[in-house]
Each structure stands twice: as C-alpha cells, then as structure tokens.
Amino acid sequence: MEIINLHIESLIFSANPSISYDEIKNTVEESLDTTISDETLQSALAELMQKYKEGDYAMEIIEISGGFRFMTKPAYHQTIGIFLRQITHKKLSKSALESLSIIAYKQPVSKAEIESIRGVNSDYTINKLLEKDLIEILGRSDGPGKPLLYGTSAKFMDYFGLKSIEDMPKPKEFEPEDNQIGSPAPIEEEQNPDKSIVKE
C-alpha cells in the first residue's frame, strides 16, 4: 500500500490543475504493471487526504471539479495571495487588469460587453490574457453573431490564491482608495496598447 500511496501522491502533485480517479487508476496500474482494486485505490486516496489534512503541512489534497489536487490550506491563502498579486501586477498592464477584472466579475462575458464597459478595443488585452492562461473561452452566446464568451481559468484561481470564485471580494468591500486596479505597465505590454473605440 505504501508504494501505491507514493505513486498516487506523485501524480496528484504533478497534475495541473487536477487528476481524475480514473486517470490515477489507469496510470498507476500501467506503471506498476498490476491491477488495483477500487477498494485499494479509494483506501490509498483516503489515507493520503487524511495525512495532509491532519499533518503539519501547508498543503492538503482535496477533491475538486471531478479530480484530486494539492491546495494550500486556508491559513496560508493570504500570504500566497499577496505573493501572487505582486507577481501578477508586475507582468500585467493596467488595461489587462481592467479587462481581467471585468471578466472575473461578469463572466461569462463577451468581448463586446468588455469593450462597452472599458470604452476601448480589447482585442490585444484579451489575447494577452488568453496567452497567459488567466482566462478561457467558455462557449458562445445565443445572441446575434454568437460571440465568444470568456471566463476565468484555473490558473487565475492559483494566481490570486482563491479556492473558488466565490472567494473574490465583493465590489462593495473595496474602499475608495483601493478602487484602483493595475500598476504602471511594463514596456513590453505597452507595445500594442488598446485603441479607443471610435463610434461613427
């Protein structure tokens, strides 16, 4: 059982963002060239989850979105959130953060809706956010032209230290002085700035 536990632990650690029960079973069986019963696998998973839950670890294994993954425990979310926000602010321009904020709070949202709120063309910033895997395409709207709909990704959750989208601060929680988003944009982010929308 100990060997199986170690293999499962390594899979969950390397999974991005999570690994399903069937993926764990199929991979471990092929790796060890043996058949593993559901009872054995479920017991191994339960032992690992209990080990990290009760032990002196900053992480725990949780079952989320149909899979298993390592997550930091709630006690450390603030520390990680501060660190990840610092990294994000260094890499994202003000326009990218504006668009990301709109997508996070309005998702699923179309490009036209984002541009309506910002008042500028958002092609460049949306492409940058897609490149950084902070947002993803959720599908198409039923409206005219069936535009693409955007939402935040699993990487967005990791960047901001969120366990779920419900953990995002509510707009009313912001103080007036904190109602500014973004930071001075790096040079590389400003090479292709968004252009104002010109209405004829």
Task: Residue 169: give its domain's CATH number.
Answer: 1.10.10.10
* Averaged pLDDT for residues 66-88: 84
Which pairing describes strands 148-152 and 109-110: parallel, antiparallel, or unpaired? antiparallel
Does the residue 184 lie in any domain? yes
For residue 178, the one-letter residue type is D
In a domain, 142, yes or no: yes
Residues 179 and 121 placed together within one structural domain of the fold: yes
Domain that residue 28 falls in: 2-72
Domain boundary among the residues 72, 92, 116 is at 72
Nearest to 156 by CA among 132, 139, 175: 132
Do 100 and 41 share a structural domain? no
Report the predicted TM-score, pTM, of the whole model to 2 decimal places.
0.48
Do 140 and 92 have their domain in common?
A: yes
**pLDDT, tens digit (0-9, with 9 covering 90-100), for 11-55:** 999 988 889 999 999 999 999 999 999 999 999 999 999 999 988
Token pair, residue 91, equals: 């890499």
Report the distance separating Cα 28 and Cα 11, nearest Å: 9
Is it the case that residue 178 has pLDDT exceeding 60? Answer: no
Residue 91 has pLDDT above 80, yes or no: no
pLDDT reading at 144 higher than 70: yes
Domain's final residue, options 49, 72, 95: 72
Pair 96, 168 in one domain: yes
Are residues 39 and 137 both part of a single domain?
no
> Which of 124, 129, 62 lies closest to 97, judged by CA?
129
Predicted local distance difference test score (pLDDT) of residue 150: 96
Domain tally for the chain? 2
**Assigned domain for 200 exists:** no
Burial 95-127 (b: 16+ CB within 10 A, else e): bbbbbbbbbbeeeebbbebbbeebebbbebbbe
Counts of helices then strands in the chain (DSSP H, E): 8, 5
Q: Does 147 share its domain with 87?
A: yes
* Residues 68 and 165 occupy one common structural domain: no
Residues 106, 157, single domain; the answer is yes
